[in-house]
Structure 1
Amino acid sequence: MDTSTHHNLNDLFAQLGLASEDAAIDEFIARHHLAGDQKLAQAPFWSDGQREFLKEAILDDSDWCEVVDELDTLLRH
């Protein structure tokens, strides 16, 4: 039985303390981009708390890591 929690982008943005409506997410992605090999958590547009959450989500392979990876990909397009 799969007891893991599957989060989506709306959940992630809410967790990060950002507006989590689809239009707000689209606007955020349109305004923010990652350069080359820059890690998501190193981007200058995050607060210290947001940066730490993103870093830990990946390092701990938490139930947030898939949606954090999705955000990383979206910010590279």
Structure 2
Amino acid sequence: MEQPVHHFSELFEQLGLRSDAQSIEHFIERHSPLPKEMPLADAPCWNEGQAEFLREAVEEDADWAEVVDHLDVSMHKAS
């Protein structure tokens, strides 16, 4: 059975954040770049539930893992 493909906007919805393109871009610009050695889930911009979701998505290689990886790369890039 194929895993569902999630879009970037769906990840932001799942995290309880605004999910339109402008809001996503603003969020990433505001909270980036993260230090190279900082895991995405440890970033100070997340609440406990959001951090746990991000951590589990990667650790369990959940169907969200690919889009979480995309967010990780986006937030570690220099502005």
Q: What's the TM-score once normalised by structure 2's chain length?
A: 0.92
Residue segments in structure 1 that go unaligned for 5+ positions in a row = none
* RMSD between aligned residues: 0.8
Residue segments in structure 2 that go unaligned for 5+ positions in a row = none
- How many residue pairs align between the two structures? 76
> Where in structure 2 are the equivalents of 1:24-35 lying within 5 Å?
24-33=23-32, 34-35=34-35
Q: Does 1:61 align with 2:64?
A: no
Which portions of structure 1, spanning 4 or more consecutive aligned residues, are displaced by more than 4 angstroms?
none
Q: Which residue of 2 aligns with 1:12?
A: 11
Looking at structure 2, the residues matched to 38 and 3 of structure 1 have their Cα atoms a distance apart, in angstroms, of: 31
Instruction: Note the alpha carbon deviations across 1:37-73, whole angstroms, 9 max, x for none.
Output: 1000000110000000000000000000000000000
* Structure 1 position 3, deviation (Å): 2.1
Percent identity reads 46
